[in-house]
Amino acid sequence: MQVLGIMGSPRRGSNTELLLDSALSGAESLGAETVKIVVSEMDIRPCMELYHCALDGTCSIRDDMQQLYGPLATADCVVLASPIFFYGLTSQAKALIDRCQALWVRRHVLKSWVPDDSIRKGALIAVGATGGPRLFDGVIQTSTYFFDAIGVRYADELLVRGVDGKAQVRDFPRLLDEAVELGSRLVSGAPSIHRTS
Ligand SMILES: Cc1cc2nc3c(=O)[nH]c(=O)nc-3n(C[C@H](O)[C@H](O)[C@H](O)COP(=O)(O)O)c2cc1C
């Protein structure tokens, strides 16, 4: 079982990364292999709408995204972790997601790739400073369609409100425990949520 973690915060060692690391440790505790990618430290440029992917499902932009298409298409579980920036994902995470248009084309237009999303699972970890009821609407919507594009089922989520300062989530060990449990659930196959839209 391989779990791919996408660390979408530009702030290293802070809330998003601590929660993601906890989730990955929960997965590892049940024997999963984990890989964490730190998006802000990679060269992942925004989609330029060149539509090369419409021809054959590959992106013509030569940057670090090229090395991610394989893991995104084959990992058993994908955990997307991001802080809330203006009620959305970070621009770093969003750039990676937009570049997954190539996988969306393979799956839905060319139909050259048929992932088994009844087996592959995706989870969202999001953390924001405020507490509004609609804080996560945007990231849930984007993640739903991201997971669809890469052929995983939206299976689980951890949505954290009221955490702002650097690594402040350490003050709430219960949240880190919840992230560990999320990682374990992904690997163990325990019941989880299923978003369809
Ligand atoms: C550019 C920017 C925009 C932000 N926008 C929001 C927001 O819309 N809502 C919110 O609750 N928090 C917002 N925040 C706060 C972060 O979500 C919060 O500090 C989070 O804990 C950061 O996670 P990190 O430490 O892992 O990067 C924003 C922070 C920044 C830097």
107-163 pLDDT, tens digit per residue, is 999 999 999 988 999 999 999 999 999 999 999 999 999 999 999 999 999 999 999
Please report the pLDDT score of residue 195 as a whole number.
Answer: 64
Q: Is the pTM of this model over 0.75?
A: yes
> For all residues of the chain together, what is the average pLDDT?
96
Please report the pLDDT score of residue 194 as a whole number.
Answer: 64
28-58 pLDDT, tens digit per residue, is 999 999 999 999 999 999 999 999 999 999 9
Please report the pLDDT score of residue 189 as a whole number.
Answer: 86
Q: How far is the CA of 128 from the centre of ligand 1 (A)?
A: 5
**Token pair of 126, please?**
């999001």
Backbone angles phi, psi at 171, to 5 degrees: -75, -10
Return the ligand 1 atom nearest residue 11 CA: 27
For ligand 1, atom 3: residue with the closest CA = 85
Return the ligand 1 atom nearest residue 88 CA: 8
Neighbours of 45 (CB within 10 A): 14
Show me where the domains of the chain are located. Answer: 2-188
Please report the pLDDT score of residue 130 as a whole number.
Answer: 97
Please report the pLDDT score of residue 93 as a whole number.
Answer: 98
Residue 188, classified by CB atoms within 10 Å of its CB into exposed (0-12), middle (13-18) or buried (19+), is middle
**Is residue 196 very low, low, confident or very high in pLDDT (cuts 50, 70, 90)?**
low
Please report the pLDDT score of residue 3 as a whole number.
Answer: 98
For ligand 1, atom 7: residue with the closest CA = 86
Please report the pLDDT score of residue 192 as a whole number.
Answer: 77
Q: How far is the CA of 164 from the centre of ligand 1 (A)?
A: 6
| Pairing relationship of beta strands 121-127 and 153-160 according to DSSP bridges | parallel
Helix (H) / strand (E) containing 78: strand 77-83
Ligand 1 pocket by C-beta < 6 Å: which residues?
9, 11, 14-16, 83-87, 127-130, 135, 163-164, 166
For ligand 1, atom 19: residue with the closest CA = 164
Torsion of CA 118, 120, 122, 123, to 10 degrees: 90
Q: How far is the CA of 39 from the centre of ligand 1 (A)?
A: 16
Instruction: Give bridge partners of residue 33 from the DSSP assignment.
Output: 2
Q: Which CATH number fits domain 2-188: 3.30.70.270, 3.90.550.10, 3.40.50.360, 3.40.50.300?
A: 3.40.50.360
3-state secondary structure of 74: helix
